[in-house]
Structure 1
Amino acid sequence: MAFNDLLLQVGGVGRFQKIQLILLTLPLLLTFLHNTLQNFTAAIPTHHCRPPANTNLSKDGDLEAWLPRDGQGQPESCLLFTSPQQGPPFPNGTETNGTGATEPCPHGWIYDNSTFPSTIVTEWDLVCTRKTLVQLSQSIFMAGILVGSLMSGIMADRLGRLKVLTWSYLLLVVSGTCAAFALNFSAYCVCRFLLGMAVSGASSSSMILNLEWLPIHARPSLGLLLGFVPTLGQLSLAGMAYALPHWRHLQLLVSLPFFVTFIYSRFFVESALWHSSLGNLDLTLKALQRVAQINGKQKEGAKLSVELLQMSLQKIQSQPSMLQMLRSPALRQLFFCITPLWFVLLFSLYGVVMSLQSFEINIYLAQVFFTIVDPPFYFLGFLATKSLGRKRTQTASVLLSGVFIVTCAMIPLDRIFLRITMAVIGKGCLIGSMNCLIMYMGELYPTVMRWKEKSGQKQQEQQMVPLQSS
């Protein structure tokens, strides 16, 4: 009897699987929000240099006398006259409204707080010469995801899926809360790195624990469901950010609920498949019988024995490792073709979804526009693979995504609607390409490698983008 038969014997997709699926999926709605959270917590409002402290800003024209103008006649964001310039400003199109010497904002900045009352940018003045620190903090978060991806898989195999999941929830709530109370930028970056590790561990462990308790026939449905979870989460992020525009409050909102998930995650049942892979047949038997009891299959659970489980254990132990699979020339070629493609697709997609503010429209609407495009393109990609095949769909979607994104970059900034349209379609093509690539992995990899590779890639994909599917 294979392990899948054991799962069917104790209830298949029963009460236990349904409850666990709900309790593991709900936290993912908030988990993936941390990836794009800095679109709002690190938003850059309109700003200009602060005049000297003794300047009387109530006096008409006094502020304008201190601010040089750019080529479009707008106040410079990072320059201040060393002394006020008297007289009317030059017409629009000139570089400045005076000939006086300028300096780079020695007294700080004044921010437009109408949209964002507080962000990490306004709190720690991450503008002008320090504006690259915003990208640095997000890069540090992604580095945490990378480290977490490497560590969580190893730890899940050694310590168990449930322990990694529980501690990831705890790390999420602690590091997320500490980030909300960070006193300086350095402390914030440390917290973001730990958040990245926690996001990676929580998402991968949740998916693996769900997969290993589901029969084979139900796993594709799980992949489809998990593909739409990031979309729902990203849609809710726009509403939460609008309701709580202060960055510390928003950070707390997406972090504190994990304390509840940390509490109830301790009552989950550890993966019986993991127990059996280590040869712990007694723990495997207890886990299966507990699931059978929850599913109302006590009699079927009572029929299980250590001898019966030994058959499944032998099948698991006979499976080749990942390194053994990569010794195959055909699989090496497949690996070296797929890996760069994943890098290109995720890099492009991440670059699009993290540049919402550059489109110069309401950022909350931009978040919605760039999220609702995912389901239509997911289904279009699915239909294309059925009618055109995987190879043609993959080639066309990658080519079209590049064309639309490059076109978006070349369109003048004042053509806002056209730029957004090109970017949204380009993002949709990336979604279709990723879904097709997942099909490739599922069909071309051997079963053991497909299981590990697909799980790990699905985790990375859902962490970095608003929507993927299986």
Structure 2
Amino acid sequence: MAFQDLLDLVGSMGRFQIFQMTFLLICNAMVISHFLLENFTAAIPGHRCWVHILDNATVSNNSSGILSQHDLLRISIPLDSNLKPEQCHRFIQLQWHLLHLNGTFSNVKEPETEACVDGWVYDQSTFLSTTVTEWDLVCGSQVLDSVAKFIYMIGNTVGNLLSGYLSDRFGRKLILTCSLLQLAITGTFTAFAPNFFLYCLLRFLLGLCVFPIVTNSTFLMIEWTSPKFQSLVTALVSCSNGLGNMVLAGMAFAFRNWHHLQLAMSVPVFFFLIPTRWLSESARWLIVTNKPQKGLKVLRKVASKNGIKNSEDGLTMEMIEITSRSWMETAQTKPSLRDLFQTPTLRKHMFLLCILRFAAMISIMGLSIHLQHLKGNTFLLRFLSGAVSIPASVGGMFLLNRIGRRIHALFLHLLFGIFLLTIISIPQEMQTLHVVLTTLATVNGAIISSSNNLHTNELLPTVIRARAIGTIGIATNMGAALSPLFMILKIYSSSLPWIIYGVLSILVGLCSLLLPETKNQPLPDSIQDVENKWKGSRQAKEEGAIIKVTPF
């Protein structure tokens, strides 16, 4: 592709790329935390009904010398099937006779119960405050907690679609900067939401800008590097996600009040706006969108930062026009979403990528947002997954370069599915093995997401890459939004949702072989590049087959 020749002249991995990537990776580490923030801010602590004799300070103090707290709880709250206090019901009248029952008698009439009309008492040993305790999102209102997550996912979906169009229209740098500002403002205001409705609205607005930041920062790294360094970029993005997990776990451990945690993860984003003025726009995007003079200016700036001397002599408008003539013609007509489905090869790629990313995200998000359901320490699991993902991402980079994108995806998806199916088959008593497998599965899911993003970027043309990724992001976020709904199946079997997640991952791994290999191949810049590459590979296969049949 023409731009690769220009990139070689200015340096495809020099000081410019290192400094720009460092800043963008730090941004990613902080921003990606918001995607998993409700693991802690919306955690559901242990709870039971508020009862007058137990939780009224005056009554409790007068009775403390007569009955223990356990006795008062026994006569006030019924027990569930696990012989633990019910979370959503209490006795209408105090059952004093239960203090004298040593067994279960069939002739004893079942005491009448009622809902928690006076509110709930929450266990504050882990979290001092969450959105659940703030607005009593438990029992009959527990569905509202899922509604809040669903609204946030809808924000992600809309944000993907809008950012795809806006990034291709106005550039990667501008949309990245605007999204950072929006995240900082809405994230900070969320901490002061006075009611649940405003909280959901602010989370929706925050969801609009998370993926635009992630995708545009990835564009500004991928589009400034040569193919041999693109797997390195993917590994570094995965490492930054791991660092973000560690930061989130540490912050959540330090700030047990959800308001304070929300502020701690949002206010620092304001400071990231300052260095954005020194970011360089993608020259590849500038030239493809018929802005060659701006592209030339940026290329010369990058060459200077990379220490390339006499760059003005080697980089001229004539050279830009000669090496980029093919996409200059393409740039005269503005591409639209319709163009994604008009040519056979790109249409096939889009269809497969949407289906595979949709199914993959159901499994990955199923694990990521339901760590609490696995009965482990959420702080520890989140921190360990972040710490282990850093060396695992480096190893994944070498594996990605060694075996290619398709086999890499097959291997990781199969392994992820096996991990999930194994976790549910081991007894809860084996806590160490349970933590190890859950950590490995979480790390595996993070690496899958990064490698999938790389493969997707390498399959789509620059001229419409952002809008294509936005369209695929809709399917991805639909999978993420539907993922929590599978937990409803726990009423039939506690293992059924995890079986579905595991089987889906294995099927995605097998189907990923339908996508073409992009290892060490330049990024396509126009839609015609995608079609020509497919035709060229098909002709090469046909010629190879003829040579095998007729060696003379």
Place the TM-score, normalised by the shorter chain, in its bin: 0.7 to 0.9
- State how 1:197-346 maps to structure 2 within 5 Å: 197-297=208-308, 299-301=310-312, 303-318=314-329, 326-327=341-342, 329=344, 332-346=347-361
Q: Which segment is superposed worse, 166-175 or 378-387?
A: 378-387
Aligned equivalent of 1:355? 370
2:40 paired with 1:40? yes
The verdict on how the C-alpha distance between 1:390 and 1:157 changes in structure 2, with shifts beyond 3 A counting, is closer
2:94 paired with 1:84? yes
Q: Which segment is superposed worse, 253-262 or 215-224?
A: 215-224
Q: Take 1:460 and 1:337, find their aligned partners in 2: how far apart are those partners?
A: 11
Aligned equivalent of 1:56? 59
Aligned equivalent of 2:13? 13
Contact 1:70 1:94 in 2 (8 A): no
Contact 1:380 1:432 in 2 (8 A): no
Q: Secondary structure at the match of 1:237?
A: helix
Q: Take 2:6 and 2:351, find their aligned partners in 1: how far apart are those partners?
A: 37
Contact 1:49 1:80 in 2 (8 A): yes
Report the Cα offset of residue 223 of structure 1.
Answer: 1.9
Query: What percent of counterpart residues are identical?
Result: 33
Q: Secondary structure at the match of 2:96?
A: coil
Q: CA offsets per residue over residues 165-199 of structure 1, 9 Å max, x none?
A: 11001001001001111111111111111111111
Q: Secondary structure at the match of 2:169?
A: helix
Q: Take 1:94 and 1:219, find their aligned partners in 2: how far apart are those partners?
A: 70
The verdict on how the C-alpha distance between 1:205 and 1:192 changes in structure 2, with shifts beyond 3 A counting, is same
2:81 paired with 1:66? no
The verdict on how the C-alpha distance between 1:407 and 1:57 changes in structure 2, with shifts beyond 3 A counting, is farther
Q: Take 2:36 and 2:103, find their aligned partners in 1: how far apart are those partners?
A: 37
Aligned equivalent of 2:513? none
Q: Take 1:299 and 1:393, find their aligned partners in 2: how far apart are those partners?
A: 42
- State how 1:352-431 maps to structure 2 within 5 Å: 352-372=367-387, 374=389, 398-399=413-414, 401-406=416-421, 408-409=423-424, 420=435, 423-424=438-439, 426-427=441-442, 430=445
Q: CA offsets per residue over residues 17-36 of structure 1, 9 Å max, x none?
A: 22211121111111100111
Report the Cα offset of residue 212 of structure 1.
Answer: 2.6
Q: Take 1:94 and 1:289, find their aligned partners in 2: how far apart are those partners?
A: 88
Q: Which segment is superposed worse, 56-65 or 243-252?
A: 56-65
Kindly provide the amino acid, as one letter, of the partner of residue 136 in structure 2. D
Q: CA offsets per residue over residues 213-270 of structure 1, 9 Å max, x none?
A: 3344433321221122111111221111111111111111111111111122123222
Q: Take 1:352 and 1:129, find their aligned partners in 2: how far apart are those partners?
A: 25
Task: Report the TM-score, using the length of structure 2 for normalisation.
Answer: 0.73
The verdict on how the C-alpha distance between 1:403 and 1:161 changes in structure 2, with shifts beyond 3 A counting, is closer
Q: Which segment is superposed worse, 402-411 or 171-180?
A: 402-411
Aligned equivalent of 1:25? 25
Kindly provide the amino acid, as one letter, of the partner of residue 141 in structure 1. Y
The verdict on how the C-alpha distance between 1:390 and 1:4 changes in structure 2, with shifts beyond 3 A counting, is closer
Contact 2:250 2:383 in 1 (8 A): no
Contact 2:389 2:446 in 1 (8 A): yes
2:110 paired with 1:102? no
Q: Take 1:92 and 1:366, find their aligned partners in 2: how far apart are those partners?
A: 40
2:136 paired with 1:125? yes
The verdict on how the C-alpha distance between 1:436 and 1:281 changes in structure 2, with shifts beyond 3 A counting, is closer
Q: Take 1:300 and 1:290, find their aligned partners in 2: how far apart are those partners?
A: 9
Q: CA offsets per residue over residues 386-426 of structure 1, 9 Å max, x none?
A: 89887676556545544543454466666655655554555
The verdict on how the C-alpha distance between 1:88 and 1:101 changes in structure 2, with shifts beyond 3 A counting, is closer
Q: Take 1:364 and 1:194, find their aligned partners in 2: how far apart are those partners?
A: 27
Contact 1:2 1:312 in 2 (8 A): yes
**Structure 2: 5+ residue runs without aligned partners?**
484-518, 520-552
Task: Report the TM-score, using the length of structure 1 for normalisation.
Answer: 0.84
Contact 2:176 2:213 in 1 (8 A): yes
Q: Take 2:156 and 2:184, find their aligned partners in 1: how far apart are those partners?
A: 16
Larger radius of gyration: 2
Report the Cα offset of residue 94 of structure 1.
Answer: 9.5
Q: Secondary structure at the match of 1:266?
A: helix
The verdict on how the C-alpha distance between 1:2 and 1:403 changes in structure 2, with shifts beyond 3 A counting, is closer
Aligned equivalent of 2:204? 193
Q: Take 1:353 and 1:167, find their aligned partners in 2: how far apart are those partners?
A: 28
Report the Cα offset of residue 87 of structure 1.
Answer: 3.2
The verdict on how the C-alpha distance between 1:276 and 1:390 changes in structure 2, with shifts beyond 3 A counting, is closer
Q: Secondary structure at the match of 1:254?
A: helix
Q: Take 2:105 and 2:85, find their aligned partners in 1: how far apart are those partners?
A: 12
Q: Take 1:127 and 1:169, find their aligned partners in 2: how far apart are those partners?
A: 33
Report the Cα offset of residue 117 of structure 1.
Answer: 0.6
**Structure 1: 5+ residue runs without aligned partners?**
none
2:167 paired with 1:156? yes
Q: Take 2:403 and 2:19, find their aligned partners in 1: how far apart are those partners?
A: 39
Q: Secondary structure at the match of 1:13?
A: coil
Contact 1:292 1:301 in 2 (8 A): no
Q: Take 1:141 and 1:13, find their aligned partners in 2: how far apart are those partners?
A: 37
Contact 1:73 1:91 in 2 (8 A): no
Q: Take 2:329 and 2:105, find their aligned partners in 1: how far apart are those partners?
A: 75
- Aligned residues, how many? 464
Q: Secondary structure at the match of 1:80?
A: strand
CA RMSD of aligned residues (A): 3.8
Report the Cα offset of residue 339 of structure 1.
Answer: 2.8
